[in-house]
Amino acid sequence: MKVTETKLKGCFMIEPKLFKDSRGYFFESFNQHRFNELIGKNIDFVQDNESFSSKGVLRGLHFQTGEYAQAKLVRVIKGMVLDVVVDLRKDSPTFSKHFSIELSEDNKKQLFVPRGFAHGFIVLSETAVFSYKCDNFYNSASEQGIRYDDPSLGIDWKLPTKEFIVSEKDLVLPTLSTLSL
């Protein structure tokens, strides 16, 4: 497993070691001991989630606050997405900066998103199955988000805006400048 810290402190790209032969492939998608050793902190995941979406579906940018903040380990099982994280840690030198990466069934890459980050993705393939581990349970009262098209973030979602499929809930999220953190 290869772990590389992104330009956002504490956010890591993870590339598993893939074993291929004529029968197909095998890889270890998660090993708690090795994962904690490689990122340099103890993360105990307590919940796994999965979503299925069509091309153009944009989910995000979401996060939970306070005692219900979540770190996530995300990956794509089928298809391809552009995964985006935004650093919302006010004391961070990369506060309000974002990082994006294509995650796909082909590249098998994963992204570790620490607590204090907003997270979202857009589906680039015809469909995608997206999976993520969380280190805290979902709590609807602590859920927040910021607009995917916040001009201060300048995120390139890689698809024309007319192809976006965004939930009503995500369309009314605040911009970063109007969000109270």
- Which residue among 33, 62, 98, 119 is the active-site one? 62
Confidence of residue 1 (pLDDT cuts 50, 70, 90): confident
- pLDDT given for residue 106 in this prediction: 96
- pLDDT given for residue 136 in this prediction: 97
Query: Does 31 fall in a domain?
Result: no
Question: Which tens digits make up the pLDDT trace of 71-129?
Answer: 999 999 999 999 999 999 999 999 999 999 999 999 999 999 999 999 999 999 999 99
- pLDDT given for residue 130 in this prediction: 98
Query: Does 111 fall in a domain?
Result: yes
Query: Does 100 fall in a domain?
Result: yes
Tell me whether residue 119 is one of the annotated catalytic residues.
no
Tell me whether residue 138 is one of the annotated catalytic residues.
no
Question: Which tens digits make up the pLDDT trace of 47-72?
Answer: 999 999 999 999 999 999 999 999 99
Is the pLDDT reported for residue 133 higher than 80? yes
- Which residue among 25, 132, 138, 148 is the active-site one? 132
* pTM for the full predicted model: 0.94
Query: Does 167 fall in a domain?
Result: yes
Question: CA distances (Å), 166 to each of 2, 3, 65, 91, 176, in order?
Answer: 33, 32, 22, 31, 18
Query: Does 63 fall in a domain?
Result: yes
Of residues 134 and 180, more confidently modeled:
134
Query: Does 24 fall in a domain?
Result: no
Domain limits for position 165: 44-178
Question: Which tens digits make up the pLDDT trace of 20-45?
Answer: 999 999 998 999 999 999 899 999 99
Is the pLDDT reported for residue 181 higher than 80? no
Query: Does 128 fall in a domain?
Result: yes
State the Cα torsion 129-63-144-97 to the nearest 10°.
-110
Query: Does 15 fall in a domain?
Result: no
State the total domains in the chain. 1
CATH, residue 144: 2.60.120.10
